[in-house]
Structure 1
Amino acid sequence: MKTYGLFLLAFAAAFSVSPNACVAAPNRPHLFVMANNNVSTAPSSPTSTFCVGRFLIDIPAGSKLTGGNYKYDFLAIESVKTMSLEEFEKETTAHESILKSSINGRTKKSMLLESVQPEKTTRIFSSWKSDASTAQVVVFGYRWIGGHRFLLKDSVDDDKQKVGMENMGKVLSRLRSRSETEMPSEPGYCFDGGLIANSEWENEEAGVDFRVADHPDTILSVWFYPLAKYKHDKPLLERMGGMTQVLGNLATSIHILRKGNRQVGPYKGQEHLASAPNSGGMRGHAFVWETQGEGTLETPAIKIELSTGHADRKGNPQKTSLTDEQAMKLWDDVLNSFRLRPTGDTVKTSDVSPQPHPRLPLGELAATGRACPQTGWWQASEAGEIEGGARQYFTAGETMPQVTMLGESSLWQKLKGARPSYRTATVWKLVDYDAEVPKPQSIAQAAPGNASSDAHGLGDGSSHQDKG
């Protein structure tokens, strides 16, 4: 049993991307993907939508968020607490009093460096990081909104204290309270209990876990974080191959269910689906999809995992309640739902001012949900056949839409005249201008290079039709 436990630890370690790795990720050739042409347009059971950062993900209804770590612009976000304004004032006053009365062993002065109160419901303190430090400063930011206390923390060098205080005030001013089921219409960063409104991406990261409804042994995890290109590790499947060699004969305990390149919305990544023994000798699942991003704030590294066979609350190993087929179906439904959150910062076409001069350059990108910044022809980043064509015409101010991907029909579907399809968010790329606006009913037909066109090299030839 101990052997299996150690085996699983090593197996799980292979999924990790080291933020400190300096190995450039090579352009890998297309790997084998097991495609399923019976693509479902929607999950077979009700789902709940969760907002994490700027992303949305759909999970079986009744699933619970069990833990999360959130950082926004290098500020750590503590768990939101329910309290009255009076309780909030008592907590912040007590914190300030403790810092003020504590003495730094080196300066022989108060640990409290500065305290400001921009408004009654906002308090910001800065203090030395420890009673022996004169180099690191901690900034605490409190805000009370409608019965909820928010607390953010930052750590800066002593010469950046003023900048840290100002940045904390700016972030606190953008805070909004949010219920778990509320999907904000304004752009910004979601965390459990709140939103930081901002149309511009900052240094944003999060790691959250969900217990999947009706399957207590099943956990879904989502991580994202900025990752510079020079810190990219080896691709997922290459790391997994190396781990298999290290494990030797133990690797025969792993059953590979599916692996290969897989694009999720605009994000090109890889997936590895396997079953393996847990610490109790019973089989569980370890599914992972990952992209290391493009090295920009808007294209972070993303990792999504689904694992079964977790111990119960008493630490006892559990047999998974999902068959391989059920686990893969759940995985495909969840993974296909992952997308950027559409926002309401769009402008009606009639309200758009004349086109800016000069025009935006070709190659400009716009994600699903954003207002179209330039009238012209736009190319979707998805590989495969798209309903209406991969290349479509949009007018400035229109909301950039999702795309409908078309799968291959089975013989039975062909006889019925049906074709599998699903909708997904994408990133559109400006590829051409056209001064003459085509008629709405002929846009799809007029778009050159429709259907499976990928003339601008945005796809990698793979398809993410791996639905259960």
Structure 2
Amino acid sequence: MTHWFRNGLAKLLAGIVIVGLTGAWAFGEVREKRETARRDEQEVARMTKGMKTVCIGRFLLDMPEEARLELVRPRVDGFDISSFDEPEADFRNRLAQREARLRAAPDRLGGNKNLESVREVKTENGVSGKIFVHSRNVAEGTRLRGQELERYRDEGVAVEALVHGQGMSFDVSASDYDPDLIENLPTLVAKLVPNPENRAPSESGFCVHRAWFRDPLSAGQGEEIIMRAGLPNHPDMQFMLILAAGNKPDRQSLLERSAETDAKLSAADRMHVSNLREAPRTISGIAGDELITRFAEKNDAIVYTFWWEVNGTADNVLLPHLSFTMETGKSNNGPVPSSLSQDAAMALWDKISSSIRLRPTQERKPVAAEPPPTQLGTYALAGERCPESGWWLCGDGGKGVGVLGGQRQYIRKGERMPQALLLPPQTLWEKLRGMQPSYESKNQTAWKLVDKRNRKRVPSPVPLAPATPVAAAGISGSGIGPRIMEEQGVAVGSFAATGVPCPASGWWRCEDPRALDGTRWFAQGSLLPSATFVLPPGAFGRPAHGARSIERRGAWRLVRLADAPRQAGSGDGPGA
């Protein structure tokens, strides 16, 4: 009896201990979960205390200040778009090198017509550069159509715009584009507006990385962009927003696809998947579907996927296909436990996703078009306002009759064009008396704009770096005049860099305003020289009697085609 009592008492005590330990463990688990939930709630509050607004396509989204994000794969009208910081001098060098490479590359037949056209770009939005059409490809042959053979020929060309504005460069290109539609590119580039600060514009249009395209853009142009983002303190979390306009809506909605997928899961898989939310959700007046799913991975990691999707329309850029997702538990080595608890992750999702909205816009105020620049050769009569600052050639005088102030005079824009005071030859008596007769023509003096330089051409104080002659460069440039150069696509305004064979004979201006070179004449085929800069006495530790100049690589811009430094009737420089 005593033995039985003792055994029973021992079992009772053991049971009490086990129950106590189990209760303590369960209490500890509950306490730890509460502490984790409280900590995660505070973390979400900290992250969302400061938010930044991001413009993505035509939409705005508020993300935590600490979020690191990028806008990738923008595409409009079949053109890929990239934007990046680049100093203008570096851009000009890259542009010249790109043009030289395209000219040097053989075409599909092994000839020298790979570069089909070059077009200068300068838009009202402060963007300038060039558009290249090159690398035509042709596929032709015969194919069976029904019971008959038909001949086909498919052609495509590469088109690319390399442009720059406000310290940023933009490359807009397509590698295989319909030759009949290449005018789409200059039309699109004309709508490009640099946005270095990534501020949301007030006008309607399509935002990309640090730039935007001004409307009108149609749904048929298929604008697309993707935003990817992450949180530094939660590396397992990833965000993605996909926008694509002009696409035919999917046959099934997000919820319909989810239901179909769940129906195919095995009983074992269903134990690892649970949908926390699965219902339509309207955000900022936009109807979509929301799906929030909890996954128990094979390594016991609990992760979450948050998804909101709008099926979109095919004909409305303001209602594109839209997919926004947030995922937890991501890593390069497979799934890891979510760094946020379920409630905290859902709170963060609700905060961010509820901020999705169309960007409000205002109608663009009309801007008065700037008058076109005054062309060389323009005439102005005495008494009229000078239309352009520069050197003007007096139409009176000549054959021994001088003009007070000189035959060529510098007149500033807005000043009254003067009536020339003519100085006929002095008689012997007038010379002896020191008298100079003068008179004015009864007709208004006509002045011709011959040069836009703001000062006379003067010799450089130090020798300039010479161009390598055509013969030494091993390139023949004989028999190529300005008209032929124009037909070959070497347009005024073209750029070339130091060391590149000069594309066309003519006057080339050094683009670095600090250089001594100014505007110089180079023969086609000669290797363009370095730019020359004055070296102040004592600079770099040199004595005052040391080197007076240094040379650096530079960019050159064609300002006038000319077979020789002086041509009949051309005056003495590029502005004549």
Fold match by TM threshold 0.5: yes
| Residue type of the alignment partner of 1:144 | H
Rounded Cα–Cα distance in structure 1 between residues aligned with 2:357 and 2:135: 41
**2:278 corresponds to 1:259:** yes
The one of 224, 232, 243 equivalent to 1:224 is 243
1:127 equivalent in structure 2 = 134
CA distance in 1, matches of 2:227, 2:329: 19
Q: How many residues were matched structurally?
A: 298
Aligned partner of 2:158 in structure 1 is: 138
The verdict on how the C-alpha distance between 1:123 and 1:263 changes in structure 2, with shifts beyond 3 A counting, is: same
Could you tell me how far 1:67 is from its partner in structure 2? 5.1
Which structure carries more relative contact order (alpha carbon 8 Å, separation 6+)? 1
| 1:8-31 CA-partner distances (Å, limit 9, x unpaired) | xxxxxxxxxxxxxxxxxxxxxxxx
* Cα distance change of structure 1 residues 346 and 278 upon mapping to structure 2, 3 Å threshold: farther
What's 2:349 paired with? 331
Cα 1:101–1:69 change in 2 (3 A) is same
Residue 242 and residue 192 in structure 1: after superposition, are their counterparts in 2 closer, same or farther (change >3 A)? same
Q: CA deviation at 1:225?
A: 0.8
Residue 302 of structure 1 deviates from its aligned partner by: 0.7
Contact 2:245 2:313 in 1 (8 A): no
**Aligned-pair distance for 1:109?**
4.2
Query: Pairwise mapping of residues 22-421 of structure 1 onto structure 2 (< 5 A)?
Result: 45-66=49-70, 68-78=72-82, 80-106=83-109, 108-119=111-122, 121-128=128-135, 135-155=155-175, 157-160=177-180, 163-164=181-182, 166-179=183-196, 181-202=198-219, 203-212=222-231, 214-229=233-248, 231-248=249-266, 249-277=268-296, 281-298=300-317, 299-311=319-331, 315=333, 317-345=335-363
Distance 1:262 1:194 in 2: 31
Offset, 1:277? 3.9
> In the alignment, residue 340 of structure 2 is paired with which amino acid?
L
Partner of 2:428: none
The aligned amino acid for 2:201 is P
Q: Which moved more, 1:256-265 or 1:130-139?
A: 130-139
Deviation at 1:280, TM superposition (A): 5.2
Distance 1:228 1:114, change over 3 A: same
Structure 1 residue 200, shift from structure 2 partner? 4.4
Distance in 1, Cα, partners of 2:128 & 2:179: 28
TM-score (ref. length: structure 2): 0.48
Residue 288 of structure 1: CA displacement? 0.8
- The structural deviation recorded for 1:130 is 5.8
Partner Cα distance (1:220, 1:180) in 2: 22
The whole-number CA distance in structure 2 between the counterparts of 1:294 and 1:158 is 26
CA distance in 1, matches of 2:133, 2:210: 25
d(CA) in 2 for partners of 1:179, 1:278:
43
| Residues 1:244 and 1:180: Cα distance change in structure 2 (over 3 Å) | farther
Contact 2:302 2:336 in 1 (8 A): no
Q: Secondary structure at the match of 2:235?
A: coil
Taking the aligned partners of 2:186 and 2:297, their CA distance within structure 1 comes to 47
Counterpart amino acid of residue 128 in structure 2: T
Which letter maps to 1:257? L
- Pairwise CA distance, 1:201: 4.3
User: By how many angstroms is 1:112 displaced?
Assistant: 1.6
* TM-aligned CA distance change 1:346 to 1:95, over 3 Å: closer
- Tell me the amino acid that sits aligned with residue 135 of structure 1: E
- RMSD after superposition: 2.6
Distance in 2, matches of 1:257 and 1:280, equals 21
Give 1:181 deviation, angstroms: 4.6
Tell me if the contact between 1:59 and 1:212 (Cα under 8 Å) persists in the aligned partners: no
How much does 1:167 deviate?
A: 2.0
- Distance, in Å, in 1 between the alignment partners of 2:364 and 2:101 is 47
CA offset at residue 156 of structure 1?
A: 5.2
Query: Displacement of 1:169 after TM fit?
Result: 1.4
Mapped to 1, the partners of 2:167 and 2:361 lie a distance apart of 26
Q: Which moved more, 1:289-298 or 1:300-309?
A: 289-298
C-alpha change, 1:131 and 1:214, in structure 2 (3 Å) is farther
2-structure distance, mates of 1:101, 1:188: 38
Q: Distance in 2 between matches of 1:131 and 1:241?
A: 47
Shift of 1:307: 0.5
Q: Cα distance 1:113–1:280, how it changes in 2: closer, same or farther (>3 A)?
A: farther
TM-score by length of 1: 0.59
The CA distance in 1 between the partners of 2:336 and 2:174, in whole Å, is: 40
1:300 is matched by which residue type in structure 2?
P
The 10-residue stretch of structure 1 (235-244 or 179-188) with the greater mean CA deviation from structure 2: 179-188
